[in-house]
Amino acid sequence: MNPESRVYVAGHRGLVGSAILRRLEAEGYDNLITRSHAGLDLGDPQAVDEFFASEKPEYIFLAAARVGGILANDTYPADFLRENLTIELNSIDAAQRHGVRKLLFLGSSCVYPKFAPQPMREEHLLTGELEPTNRSYAIAKIAGIELCRAYNKQYGADFISVMPTNLYGPHDDFDLQTSHVLPALIRKFHEAKTTGDRSVSVWGTGTPRREFMYVDDLADACVFLMKNYSGDEIINVGVGRDISVEELAILIRNVVGYEGAIEYDTSKPDGTPRKLLDVSRLHELGWEASTPLEEGIRQTYEWYLASGRRSMETKSA
């Protein structure tokens, strides 16, 4: 892959796809191909086929997906399963039939068993029961991994699968019903600071542990792996450290500058007790994350504030 290559970033308006696009643009790629959801429905096999026939992408970052936090996954399992399966099947199959040189598929750390040994190594895939709150999403992502492997084996394709840890950053979803914990807490603390609320509600017990990676680091890792790795083995992408939800809440409260209390709503699920990836395989390949968590949270909070200003400006324009 080089700056002249025809590179399709699927899902370029989302958290991950927008970061990959920024990363490639910064490196001078000038044959980037993108489509909004309205411009191309990846759930429609015929539309996908026509798009591949006309655009002839050589490299694909498959970052299009139905994603969401613990509540959205638990409430809409059929949507998460159906939409992710169809996106993966249509894109991966078309990539093979239209001679795409290489495809990078983005999975998720939730493909690993709920009680996998920590940190979770790539070989722990398919060794135990999944976490029930996101089993449908996880099974769709496991199917994506298997599609890549099967197309490599049967057709000699060069499709790789990358398992990112919990991600955050610019263009994240800040809707409290569908978002992940980090953007949700940025919004909750910011709104409580603005309105003067005496406390903020954090879901669950605060004890679950998660690993958080700034999405620009993930984008860098994806470009690195596209250039430097081929094979059937999945590759974990994370920072190698985790923190509890309680520690995260305190960190975000400090960044936002909120002085009220934190309350735990134990009617909401905790989900997996711990999710930390073993990233030694990625380190051996020669890549490590660089953005410290507090710095990434600051940048995300700044983006959140600016995006609020942008939407106010759009409304008043």
- 36-65: which residues touch ligand GFB (CB under 6 A)? none
Which span (82-90, 175-183, 190-198, 235-243) binds ligand GFB, by CB under 6 A? 175-183
Instruction: Give the shortest CB-157-to-ligand GFB separation in angstroms.
Output: 26
Q: From 16-24, 174-182, 211-219, 227-235, give the range in contact with ligand GFB by CB under 6 A.
A: 174-182
Tokens standing for residue 215: 């999405």
Rounded-to-integer distance, Cα 307 and Cα 310, Å:
5
By CB under 6 A, name the one of 12, 23, 180, 190 that touches ligand GFB: 180
**Of these residues, 29, 59, 112, 137, which one is catalytic?**
137
- Which segments of 216-278 are extended strands (E)? 235-237, 243-244, 261-265, 274-275
Nearest residue (CB) to ligand GFB, 70 versus 235: 70
User: Is residue 125 part of the contact set for ligand GFB (CB under 6 A)?
Assistant: no
**181 touches ligand GFB (CB under 6 A):** yes
Which two tokens mark 68? 């969401």
Give the nearer residue to ligand GFB in terms of CB position, either 73 or 236: 73
Q: How many CB atoms lie within 10 A of CB 49?
A: 15
* 29 near ligand GFB, judged by CB under 6 A: no
Given the rule CB under 6 A, which of 11-19, 99-107, 176-184, 232-240 is the region that contacts ligand GFB? 176-184
Q: Which is nearer to ligand GFB, 1 or 251 (CB)?
A: 251
- Does position 236 interact with ligand GFB (CB under 6 A)? The reply is no
Q: Is 136 near ligand GFB (CB under 6 A)?
A: no
* DSSP designation for 130: P
SS3 32: strand
| Chain centre distance of CA 36 | 18
The number of helix segments (H) and strand segments (E) in the chain equals 10, 13
* Among 204, 238, 240, 296, interactor with ligand GFB by CB under 6 A: 204
- State how far the Cα of 298 lies from the Cα of 32, in Å rounded to an integer: 29
Choices 83-91, 117-125, 199-207, 297-305 (CB under 6 A): range interacting with ligand GFB: 199-207
197 CB neighbour count, 10 Å cutoff? 15
- The binding track of 271-310 with respect to ligand GFB, each residue x by CB under 6 A or -, is xx--------------------------------------
Of 18, 134, 161, 300, the one binding ligand GFB (CB under 6 A) is 134
The Cα 33–Cα 275 span in angstroms is 34
- The span from the CA of 221 to the CA of 205, in Å, is 33
Nearest one of 157, 301, 166 to 242, comparing CA atoms: 166
CA distances from 162 to 9, 214, 279 (A): 15, 16, 11
How many residues make contact with ligand GFB (CB under 6 A)? 26
Cβ neighbourhood burial of 163 (10 Å; 0-12, 13-18, 19+): buried
Q: Confirm whether 151 is a catalytic residue.
A: no
Identity of residue 63: A
Give the binding range for ligand GFB (CB under 6 A) out of 84-92, 113-121, 129-137, 212-220.
129-137
Task: Catalog residues that contact ligand GFB under the rule CB under 6 A.
Answer: 69-71, 73, 108, 110, 133-134, 137, 166, 179-181, 184-185, 202-204, 208, 210, 245, 268-272
Residues with active-site annotation: 137
